[in-house]
């Protein structure tokens, strides 16, 4: 496709008002032609940063804020329904590590007590 034809359609392409076939042709051309891609990106930047560009209405902003608030409320409700240890996996991990360390210590102390009991048995005592 000719670069002049592409450049003529870039504004419509940016606003999504070209048909699917034209969009596919423009996509393919922009991938293959660095100069047109550079021109498109400059045009896109100019459109998006232009002074006096249309801004969303107060109603649209309110709807967006409401939708975001609903999503956040859903996430908070799901998080509140989860068990506390699941929300704080590090706390659970530290507690599990502390329990494991305590069990190892008990087993070690029992082994040492058993050895002491064996060593300290009076002569003639029956050992198991």
56 Cβ partners below 8 Å, 6+ apart? 64
Kindly state the tokens that stand for 96.
């599990």
Distance CA 47, CA 11 (A): 9
36 Cβ partners below 8 Å, 6+ apart? 3, 6, 7, 29, 30
Percent of the chain topping pLDDT 90: 7
116 pLDDT tier (thresholds 50, 70, 90): low
Distance CA 32, CA 11 (A): 19
pLDDT, greater one: 110 or 119: 110
pLDDT, greater one: 53 or 50: 50
Instruction: Classify 27 as helix, strand or coil.
Output: helix
Distance CA 100, CA 112 (A): 18
């Amino acid at each position: 496709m000719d670069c002049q034809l592409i450049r003529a359609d870039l504004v419509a392409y940016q606003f999504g008002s070209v048909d699917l076939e034209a969009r596919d042709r423009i996509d393919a051309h922009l991938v293959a032609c660095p100069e047109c891609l550079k021109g498109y990106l400059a045009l896109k930047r100019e459109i998006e940063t232009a002074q006096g560009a249309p801004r969303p209405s107060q109603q649209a902003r309110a709807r967006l804020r409401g939708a975001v608030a609903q999503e956040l409320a859903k996430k908070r409700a799901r998080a509140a329904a989860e068990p506390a240890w699941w929300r704080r996996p590090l706390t659970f991990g530290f507690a599990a590590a502390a329990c494991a360390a305590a069990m190892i210590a008990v087993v070690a102390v029992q082994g040492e007590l058993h050895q002491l009991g064996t060593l300290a048995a009076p002569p003639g005592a029956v050992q198991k």
